Amino acid sequence: MEDELYLENIDEFVTDQNRIVTYKWLSYTLGVHVNQAKQMLYDYVERKRKENSGAQLHVTYLVAGNLIQNGHTCHKVAVVREDKLEAIKSKLTTVTSIHVYSIQKALLKDSGPLYNTDYDIIKTNLHNCSKFSAIRCADAVPRTPAEVAQARTLARAASQTLSDTSTVSTPPLNGHGPTAAKQSSQPPKGIMGMFAAKAASKAQDTNKEPKAKEAPSVSAASSKPSAKANIMNNFFGKAAMSKLKVNSVPEQPKEEKEAVKTSVPATEPESSPNTMVEKPGRKTEPAKIQQKDKKSKMKRMDKSDNEEEREPENQKKKRKRIKQLESDSSDEEGVPASPTLQEEKAPSPPPLVPALKAELEPASAEASTGGKKRKRKRVLKSKMFVDEEEGCMVTEKVYESESCTDSEDDFAKTKPPAAPKQPALPVKKEPKEERKNQKKGAATASRANKQVSIMGFFQKK
């Protein structure tokens, strides 16, 4: 009958599978209350021993009770083997609980296997580890990701006010502190929105807790755009996303990337363009690091980016900025339909530069020496370029591409329109980006990693 089913289960676990069946393991496996599991184990032991006195079953018990020690009463909880049970019971003044802890076939030398059994089963049930426990706590409800994000913003605001009014009244010597805090608080919605979206998707991955009904729907709804947003973030970093978002507003989405971009605005509904631009200012560096890690993907995305941004030139300007900084120099973008547009887009795949500054600095150097570069197409030039930029490393590819292009005049034209469109960026970045524009414009025309040199050679003729 159904009631006896558990006996067969335990029998199977202990005898056939040769497991160590602890009460907790049984409780999770059969989905019963822990006390029931303890009773089931005891029942099984009794019956088995009655049926077959030679049954090879070793049982460990849990004994808890009081003990007078050093003048005070100590509460003692012990896991003991069956043969020590009576000894322990006699030592304790009062026995408050006895129950079966585990059943196994083999005699246990020490308690390590008991711990391992419980550890494994808990690991697989981390999200509902108190489900079969005898105590329920009303407060222990996991927060939804939205609440988590709220709590974080509150904590951040609280810590700021706290730091202002704390006894540590002297302002920190590293001026970083308050300004960073303020900046971070300013676009909390923007950043936090992204974080929240990311946290939502990540929380789902890492936390095995069963989400509340709202949470899955919310997270499912946001997970797709946020997943895409995450991919995009990984490719371009938050700076890129912000810029993409700004750019995507007037654009008509053509590809799924743009769909992703629109989803990014969804996740960052309230970020102001200024803050978004500011953020790229600050986030380009980490973004670039990310970009280096995902060069190939960035190339693909750059392709699509380029294609999207062919028509509207305004967005292209901003796009360029992003692409210069983030995408790799890729020659796979295809033959540009309009050379000017392509040239503008060419800058977007950033050169394969290991250092962040290197990306900017070569660009700046290139921009500064843009005029000269156009005329000179020697590799030697690039080496000089490196020295100017204080040891930043630039790949051959970059230089080759630069030297190959003849159309850098176009970038001179695009520079001025690009400049006013990047007002909020730090000045340092703007010239660099423009230079990158030029560089990339030059690069696009001859964008094949190794073939660039060859084509450049021919073109320069």
Partner 1 sequence: MQARAPTVTMATAPPRPPRLPWRRAALTPLPPRGYATSAPRVRAIPCQGLTGGAVWGFQMPGSKLRSIFGGFRCQGVIWRRVQVPGNLRGAFGPAAMFSEVTPPPGHTLLGPPSAEPPTFARAGSNFADRSQPFRLGERSFGRQYAHLYATRLLCMRPRLEQQARLRWGDGVLLRKLCQLQAGERCCVVGTLFKAMRLQPSILQEINEEHNLVPQPPLAKYVDPSDELVLEDELQRIKLTGSIEASRLVTGAVLAVYGHEQEDGKFLVEEHCFAHLPPQLPWQGPSADRFVLLASGLGLGSGSGESLLGTQLLVDAVTGQLGAEGQQSCAALISRVLLAGNLLSQSTQSRDSLHKAKYLTKKTQAASVEAVKMLDEILLQLCSSVPVDVMPGEFDPTNYTLPQQPLHRCMLPLSSVYPTLQLVTNPYQADVDGVRFLGTSGQNISDIFKYSSMDDYLEILEWTLLAGHISPTAPDTLGCYPFYNSDPFILTDCPHVYFCGNAPRFQSKLLTGEDGQRVLLVAVPAFSATQTACLVNLRDLSCQPISFSVFGAEDDSDMEVGQ
Considering the complex, state which of residue 23 and residue 399 has its C-beta at the smaller distance from partner 1: 23
Cβ 117 to partner 1 shortest distance, Å: 10
Q: Tokens 């599978």 sit at which residue?
A: 17
Q: Using the rule CB under 8 A, which residue among 17, 207, 274, 296 binds partner 1?
A: 207
* Residue list 67-106, contact with partner 1 (CB under 8 A): 67, 69, 72-81, 84, 87-88, 91, 93-100
* Residue numbers 4-33 binding partner 1 by CB under 8 A: 6, 23-24, 27, 32-33
CB under 8 Å to 259, separation ≥6 — which residues?
228, 253
Three-class secondary structure of residue 66 per DSSP: strand
Number of residues that bind partner 1 (CB under 8 A): 95
Which tokens in the block code for residue 426? Answer: 């730090």
User: How far apart are CB 81 and partner 1 at their closest, in Å?
Assistant: 6
Site for partner 1 in 397-416 (CB under 8 A): none
- Judged by CB under 8 A, the chain residues 208 through 267 that form the site for partner 1 are 209
> How far is 162 from 179, CA to CA, in rounded Å?
15
**Cα atoms in the Cβ-side hemisphere of radius 13 Å centred on 447:** 30
Give yes or no for residue 391 binding partner 1 (CB under 8 A): no
- Token pair in block for residue 428: 């340092």
CB of 104 to partner 1, least distance (A): 13
- Cα–chain center distance at 161: 29
C-alpha 439/C-alpha 351 separation (Å) is 9
Those residues whose C-beta lies under 8 Å from the C-beta of residue 445, and which sit 6 or more positions away, are 336, 339, 342, 343, 346, 404, 405, 406, 407, 455, 459
Nearer to partner 1, 73 or 296 (CB): 73
Q: Among 54, 206, 250, 461, which residue interacts with partner 1 (rule: CB under 8 A)? A: 206
Strands 58-69 and 21-22 turn out to be unpaired
User: Can you give the three-state secondary structure of 388-432, one letter per residue?
Assistant: HCCCCCCCHHHHHHHHHCCCHHHHHHHHHHHCCCCCCCCCCHHHH
Residues in contact with partner 1, shown as a per-residue x/- string from 154 to 193 under the rule CB under 8 A: -----xx-xxx-xxxxxxxxx--xx--x------------
CB of 49 to partner 1, least distance (A): 12
Q: Which two tokens stand for residue 287?
A: 């973004």
* Positions in 113-152 near partner 1 (CB under 8 A): 114-115, 118-119, 122-123, 126, 128-130, 132-143, 148
**CA distances (Å), origin 28, targets 123, 131, 325:** 11, 9, 52
Site residues (CB under 8 A) for partner 1, limited to 348-387: none
* Minimum distance from residue 108 beta carbon to partner 1 (Å): 8
Closer CB to partner 1, residue 33 or residue 228?
Answer: 33
CA 355 to chain centroid:
22
Stretch that binds partner 1, among 56-64, 257-265, 289-297, 345-353 (CB under 8 A): 56-64
Q: Cβ 55 to partner 1, closest distance in Å?
A: 16
Q: CB of residue 43 vs partner 1: minimum separation in angstroms?
A: 4
- Which residues, 31 to 50, sit near partner 1 by CB under 8 A? 32-36, 38-40, 42-43, 46-47
